[in-house]
Structure 1
Amino acid sequence: MSHPRLRQVVLITADLDSALTRARDVLGFGPGVRDEAEMAKLGFEHEVLTLADTFVEIVAPLDPESSFGQLVRRNGDGGYMAVVQVPDLQGVVDTAAGIGVTPVIHQDYEGHRISQWHPKHLGTLAELDQIEPAETWHFAPAVFENKAQGPGGDIVACTIATPDPQQVAGNWATMLGLDVGEADTVLRLPGEEIRFVASGDGPRGLVAVDLVALDPARAGEVIELCGVRFTLVPTPARQGESA
């Protein structure tokens, strides 16, 4: 893999079972995978759900009085994190240091190199991972065994709401080695987009996700899950292709 990919979004909820039931009802997810022991160390329970080659993870705080539990109680269910696969994580870390941005986590995990980054720099909690080999993903092969049988295919875009969309878009572009105009607030990856919008008085962080509409007649349909808008969209042209 020679370019970044938007591979996963993470949602947070107060009630994991209810959120999973809705996810299966509206997006046709099958059984997901869990790492109960490791996530419990972080204060969460979770499940990773598979679309086709991209993923939706739903997490819930184990302790409602923890900082994460209070966050959900204060703000309600919502977007929690965007996960982008990168070909050279150390290169990203080195480049980020040049603009004064450092990861809050940078470590090896089950043969992969992972990092997490603070929302103040990237608009949402973000995870940038170098996966080996590039075509696999966390929890493989089990994570590929039960793909969704619903209206949506893979993730092709997400939207992050932040007080300063231009600055945040610029941080992402610099770290990932991509071009973005001074007034541009859309990060165009070869296969996906990450869009940055002004949060105003509304929620901040991950607020919307686009999925390929497997039935073209359903393009434009919006499905709400954990406070995040999932929109079914036509298959986008990739960079370098004509629309």
Structure 2
Amino acid sequence: MRIRQIVLATHALGPGRALLAQVLQLPAPYRDPGVAEFGIDNAVFCFGDQFIELVSPLRPDTACGRHLARQGDGGYMLILQTDHLARERARLDALGVRRVWQAEFDDIAAMHLHPKDIGGAIVSLDEARPAAAWRWGGPDWQVQPGEAGRQRVLGLTLRARQPEALARRWAQVLARPAPLPLPLPDGRGDGDGRGDGDGRGDGDGDGDGSAARHGAGWRVLLDEGFVDVRPPAAAANGAAVDAAVDAAEAADALVGVTLAVADPAAVCTRARAAGVAVQGLRLQWLGIDCTLQPLPVPAAAPVQAR
């Protein structure tokens, strides 16, 4: 199971679309007429062989509109690619995980999981046929040439009031290995999992889970990626959420993304020129905290395919 597409919700699709294209130097996005079914408009950008989508409601009485009213601009949805959707459907039915939408086409099958049955974000499981195809990117999408085509969405960060419980639920629903505790800033904890770009936990931990007990959070490993689950104070460290918000009342949400880009310094320069807040290799834009890593990405640790 791998990240194939991330979705961000915004009140202002036009400005958000222009900002994303300018800062990441992306080709023109695809506008999918099919999303009108959900009462939204969108822009889908190709990023390597993955996709970054912006969505905006056409009217307020939609799931996207209600999400924006509650949480403002930011993370909305994660689309994971599987090689066997029927198997996943049967497994999730046995777990009692509900579906809120499903579709079957010649080239792709998809199902959206009920947000209350996983938590933190809308999650879709999709099986593309063939695996390299991707209907949601439009009929003409192509991987960019050169290093731009090797860029990747490496991982996501969820904010959670009970991070261990949410991480374990994600691991259960997605049939992933047990979550790994993330390290404290001084590197203590069972697994490092940060900065290596492949989702591996390779820290010099003390073996007793102290990182988790002190609130660093947890990591769920995906194929070629990861989902980090952190408490509100840790997630807000990069201003992904308003510091004025009481951490105890912060809703579970998708608040961050980690991208491997061809030239992080150039991305940061363009971001500053566009008025985006930049701290080191971290951008605070489109309602999320975006962490940049350079290419090449180290080879991923072997993870059993799902």
- Superposition TM-score, scaled by structure 2 size: 0.69
Any residues of structure 2 matched to 1:98-113 within 5 Å, and which? 98-109=94-105, 111-113=107-109
Corresponding residue for residue 230 of structure 1: 290
Letter in 2 for 1:174: Q
Aligned match for 2:9, one of 12, 19, 28: 12
Point out where structure 1 has 5 or more consecutive residues left out of the alignment. none
Corresponding residue for residue 71 of structure 1: 67
Q: 1:153 to 1:203 in 2, by over 3 A?
A: farther
3-state DSSP of counterpart to 2:178: coil
Distance (Å, rounded) in 1 between the aligned partners of 2:102 and 2:41 = 22
Letter in 2 for 1:239: A
Question: CA shift at 1:181, angstroms?
Answer: 4.6
Which is higher, the Rg of structure 1 or of structure 2? 2
Aligned match for 1:55, one of 37, 51, 55: 51
Point out where structure 2 has 5 or more consecutive residues left out of the alignment. 183-217, 233-246, 269-279
CA RMSD of aligned residues (A): 2.9
Corresponding residue for residue 32 of structure 2: 35
Structure 1 stretch displaced more, 49-58 or 164-173: 164-173
Answer yes or no: is the 8 Å Cα contact 2:32–2:138 preserved in 1. Answer: no
Question: CA shift at 1:147, angstroms?
Answer: 7.6
Letter in 1 for 2:72: G
* 1:188 and 2:221 correspond: yes
Corresponding residue for residue 92 of structure 1: 88
Answer yes or no: is the 8 Å Cα contact 2:74–2:255 preserved in 1. Answer: yes
What number of residue pairs does the alignment pair up? Answer: 237
Question: CA shift at 1:100, angstroms?
Answer: 2.1
Question: CA shift at 1:61, angstroms?
Answer: 0.2
3-state DSSP of counterpart to 2:116: helix
Corresponding residue for residue 202 of structure 1: 250
- Superposition TM-score, scaled by structure 1 size: 0.85
Letter in 2 for 1:46: N
Aligned match for 1:125, one of 105, 122, 127: 122
% same residue: 28
Distance (Å, rounded) in 2 between the aligned partners of 1:231 and 1:81 = 18
Structure 1 stretch displaced more, 188-197 or 98-107: 98-107
Answer yes or no: is the 8 Å Cα contact 1:51–1:148 preserved in 2. Answer: no
Higher relative contact order (CA 8 A, sep 6+): 1
Question: CA shift at 1:148, angstroms?
Answer: 11
Corresponding residue for residue 202 of structure 2: none
